Amino acid sequence: MQKKTVSIQILGSNLSKLSQYHSQISSLINKEITTLLYENSALGNLYTDKTLPEVLIFLLDNVTLEALNQLTSMPSADRPALLVIAEDHDKQLMRLAMQAGARDFFSHPVDNQELLKSLTQILFDLRRGRSKQGTLTTVINAKGGSGGSFIACNLAHIASALSDSSVVLLDFDLQFGSQSLNLDIIPQHTIVEALNDVTQLDFDAIDGYMCIHKSGLRLLSTTYEQLVLPGDILVENLDHLLTLISSNYDHVFVDLPRQIDPLSAAILERSDQIVIIVQQSLAHMRDAKRLTGLLKLEFNIAEKDILIVVNRYHDKGSLDLKDIQSTIESSAIYKIPNDYDSVSQSTNLGIPLYDYARKSPITKNMVSLAESLGVTFRDEFKEKGFFKKLFSSKA
């Protein structure tokens, strides 16, 4: 489920203007907005009852001036985020509003675009400041074709299906993304649209840009009809989008192409944990060693936040886990066993592994990996005792 929404209230002494601004603001943002017709000491009673809204849109006039003074007398940490709309652009009123901690000051009537811009920024800052950020996990191949997209998809699906967490999968292969095919869902909007519109989106609106799998997993991806060039996306918009989504959901999984550019660099720097997908070959070891070195030296990412996953692992492969561990110099190495038939059918049908082959070894190892990434499963899905040890995949 999504995290708690922000409470918004309009306070004023004129019933007609309260109704007018309620309609105006409701048409701009998709949120529940309450109104309060100000009467003597109303704000004080609300504060005593701890029912002050998080965002207060204050219609300032001679009657509500007393309420503004009450706000000013409160400790600054207890005040709501304040947006003041006054009858005219009086400097004295503006000064009083600033003393009360107003984030913005407008004179009546207020232009829609100016009001939307101010509210969007207030909501953005408020949610970022008050919320525990969701975990951002980036999955990237050490070498092309290692299976990173498939693993990212199935980790996200398992996290959504087996836990009470809200989970989002971001497909950042902007030219050849395949996650909508892996889940057999058709996006109505794309991640590029969300990036272009992000400065105008709030925490409810962004949900409308995502398509939802039956497991509850949310997806932002591209379509094959869309051609996106690297310069088409602003890094500032990407940063805004990551903050917006991380503030609103518990787990965010990113399918990141194997390349280093401004966009991928911004994602890697924001990631809480990075999963590097390799296979049992010297070529993969060479590229994995280089990639982990870049992450540590250029992006200052701690070794504990980098996990190596050996995909399509086979006991008779040319390199065993100890060889891989010593080559890459990583303490966290996991294996996903080779199961060509299950993976091929799962991909062709657009059915995630947990739904297609729930009891297979590859699925059990994927579940174990998701748990290692901090996903908390519901009690009925937690492995216990002998079985947990049996399916443990950590080197």
Give the model confidence (pLDDT) of 310-365 as tens digits.
Answer: 999 988 877 888 888 888 877 788 999 999 999 999 999 999 999 999 999 999 99
- What pLDDT, in 10s, does the model give residues 117-167? 888 778 767 765 555 578 999 999 999 889 999 999 999 999 999 998 899
- Distance of alpha carbon 294 from alpha carbon 279, whole angstroms: 19
Identify the band that residue 4 occupies on the pLDDT scale cut at 50, 70 and 90: low
Binning pLDDT at 50, 70 and 90, where does residue 71 land? Answer: confident
Place of tokens 């902007």: 174
Residue 39: pLDDT above 50? yes
DSSP secondary structure string for all residues of 295-363: HHHTS---GGGEEEEEEEE-TTSSS-HHHHHHHHT-S-EEEEE--HHHHHHHHHHT--HHHHSTTSHHH
Q: Are 38 and 65 in contact (CB under 8 A)?
A: no
How much is the pLDDT for 278?
A: 94
363-390, pLDDT tens digit by residue?
999 999 999 999 999 888 776 543 454 4
- Measured distance CA(392)–CA(134) in Å, rounded: 26
Residue predicted with more confidence, 71 or 305? 305
pLDDT tens sequence across 267-314: 999 999 999 999 988 999 999 999 999 998 888 888 889 999 999 998
Q: What is the pLDDT of residues 162-191, one digit of tens each?
A: 998 899 999 998 888 889 999 999 888 888
